[in-house]
């Protein structure tokens, strides 16, 4: 029997036609391990979901690293992509080693179909890696914020742009205790101008990229 041992609770996965197939839940385990390795000490919630026609993984965490840094890792574990310009789904190929490290090796992209996503041609696999089919099509990242961090971000944005901090309210959700920003007074004070919307968006941009600097 052609098998590959992956660090998934020391589980042995049987290959089929030279390919190892992982479920969405198994893929989530490897993603959780990759996040723990890259961001030690940060608590991530990693949940998998399967449904008719697809599967996905959702990552949530509080404060911590920049959302863009987490997305760099999350994107590697997507078995598919979507080109919104032409409403076309495309697929990606991956490889994994015995430690459970996953790498992207190719993608068919959408350029040959009139889209904007370039093709990624398959290169020779690094030593110790074998082809794997991930069980997740898409991975989303949701960063939540503490009230303390949200207040710091609002203060930073007000100092940078010069708007009145009193016009921004940091609220605590009754549902989960996470912070959310009420910018209604700020937007109304400037007649809902584009400039005021930039000010409001800047607070969330600051939070998503690691909190107040």
What is the per-residue pLDDT across 154-204, written as a single tens digit (0 to 9) for each? 998 888 888 889 988 999 998 889 998 888 888 888 777 888 888 888 888
Residues 47, 109, single domain; the answer is yes
The pLDDT confidence band at residue 8, using thresholds 50, 70 and 90, is low
Give the end of a domain, one of 142, 159, 189.
142
**β-strand partners of 143:** 61
Domain count, the chain: 2
pLDDT given at position 72: 96
Are the beta carbons of 149 and 179 closer than 8 angstroms? yes
Range of the domain at 15: 3-142
Residues of the chain by 3-state class (helix, strand, coil), percent to 5: 30, 30, 35
Residues 126, 72, single domain; the answer is yes
Residues 60, 73, single domain; the answer is yes
Q: Which stretches of the chain are DSSP H helices?
A: 24-38, 67-76, 147-161, 184-189, 194-208
Residue 213 lies in a domain: no
Give the end of a domain, one of 125, 142, 159.
142
Residues 92, 45, single domain; the answer is yes
CA-wise closest residue to 11 among 29, 36, 24: 29
pTM for this model (two decimals):
0.85
């Amino acid at each position: 029997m052609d098998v590959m041992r992956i660090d998934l609770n020391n589980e042995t996965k049987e290959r089929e036609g030279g390919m190892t197939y992982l479920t969405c839940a198994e893929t989530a385990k490897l993603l959780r391990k990759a996040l723990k390795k890259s961001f030690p000490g940060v608590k991530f919630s990693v949940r998998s979901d399967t449904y008719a026609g697809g599967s996905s993984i959702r990552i949530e965490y509080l404060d911590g690293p920049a959302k863009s840094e987490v997305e760099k890792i999350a994107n590697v574990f997507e078995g598919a992509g979507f080109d919104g310009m032409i409403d076309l789904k495309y697929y990606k190929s991956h490889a994994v080693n015995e430690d459970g490290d996953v790498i992207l090796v190719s993608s068919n992209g959408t350029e040959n179909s009139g889209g904007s996503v370039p093709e990624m041609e398959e290169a020779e696999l690094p030593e110790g890696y074998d082809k794997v089919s991930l069980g997740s099509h898409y991975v989303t990242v949701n960063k939540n914020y503490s009230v303390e961090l949200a207040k710091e971000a609002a203060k930073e944005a007000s100092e940078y742009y010069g708007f009145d901090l009193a016009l921004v309210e940091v609220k605590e959700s009754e549902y989960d205790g996470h912070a959310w920003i009420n910018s209604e007074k700020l937007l109304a004070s400037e007649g809902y101008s584009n400039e005021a919307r930039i000010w409001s968006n800047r607070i969330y941009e600051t939070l998503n990229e690691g909190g107040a600097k």
